[in-house]
């Protein structure tokens, strides 16, 4: 089964699971908005020195569907471009996407358990394409600080099946299978503006991942992303 087929299957499974959850009320709360992550990127290949890329913005849509008091489905998609120095000394734009689709279950007033699908890509035009898809599982914590202000913390792990394509204008495209796994953590403050049905969320995020390529000549690489997050969502009921 290809990576794209796994993506479709896992995404369908997560959405289908959320749809069939029993609803205790007739109304469904939907939140839509935008998110951004001003992130630094440290890249450490097995056979080379550590590279520290200048921070850039990743941005994209965010959405949540609350089925009842216990279950809700969340989705976020982030996209950005970084300047990377290649082995030849050229500066190339590397595009990155980071997407999560998760079903959340409220354990009590403070903790939630969530699991779902993570999709991640890197690409440099005409040079390489990398994409991974797989499951993620995590735990979230919410602490009310006041009526409308909350402290939020999340910690999760993920394991992705990945493929990499190395391209050359003079040689055939080379493809490699890989495993991609790591952790993701966030800590933020959320402020709910009741009069506008809007939530503003600001905080920090750290993500660590390791890519193990099946080809021994390619080896592994380690990646760290860290920076400031900001998200705004508007909530309504249907």
Global pTM reads 0.87
Q: Are 67 and 108 in contact (CB under 8 A)?
A: no
CA 198 remoteness from chain centre: 22
* Rounded Cα distance, 38 and 57, in Å: 4
What are the boundaries of each domain within the chain?
3-237
Does the structural domain 3-237 have CATH classification 2.30.30.90? no
Closest CA to 152 of 36, 70, 231, 80: 231
pLDDT (tens digit per residue) in 119-168: 999 999 888 899 999 999 999 999 999 999 999 999 999 999 999 998 87
Would you say residue 63 has pLDDT above 50?
yes
List all residues 6 or more positions away from 8 whose beta carbon is below 8 Å from its beta carbon: none
Lowest mean pLDDT among 5-14, 54-63, 78-87: 5-14
pLDDT (tens digit per residue) in 4-43: 545 545 554 554 454 444 444 457 899 999 999 999 999 9
* Rounded Cα distance, 223 and 42, in Å: 6
Q: How far apart are the first and last CA of the chain?
A: 38
């Amino acid at each position: 089964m290809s990576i794209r087929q796994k993506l479709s299957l896992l995404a369908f499974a997560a959405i289908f699971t959320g749809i069939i959850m029993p609803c205790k009320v007739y109304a469904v709360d939907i939140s839509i908005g935008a998110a951004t992550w001003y992130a630094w990127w440290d890249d450490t290949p097995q056979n080379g020195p550590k590279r520290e890329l200048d921070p850039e913005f990743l941005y994209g849509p965010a959405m949540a569907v609350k089925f009842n008091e216990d279950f809700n489905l969340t989705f976020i998609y982030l996209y950005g471009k970084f300047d990377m120095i290649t082995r030849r000394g050229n500066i190339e734009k590397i595009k990155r996407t980071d997407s999560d689709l998760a079903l959340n279950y409220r354990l009590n007033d403070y903790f939630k358990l969530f699991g779902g699908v993570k999709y991640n890509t890197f690409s440099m035009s005409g040079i390489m394409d990398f994409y991974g898809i797989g499951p993620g599982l995590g735990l979230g914590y919410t602490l009310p600080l006041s009526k409308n202000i909350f402290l939020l913390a999340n910690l999760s792990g993920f394991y992705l099946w990945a493929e990499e394509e190395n391209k050359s204008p003079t040689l055939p495209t080379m493809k490699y299978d890989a495993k991609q796994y790591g952790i993701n953590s966030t800590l933020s403050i959320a402020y709910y503006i009741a009069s506008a049905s809007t939530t503003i969320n600001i905080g920090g995020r750290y993500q660590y991942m390791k890519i193990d390529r099946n080809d021994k000549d390619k080896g592994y690489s380690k990646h760290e992303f860290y920076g400031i997050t900001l998200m705004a969502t508007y909530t309504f009921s249907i």
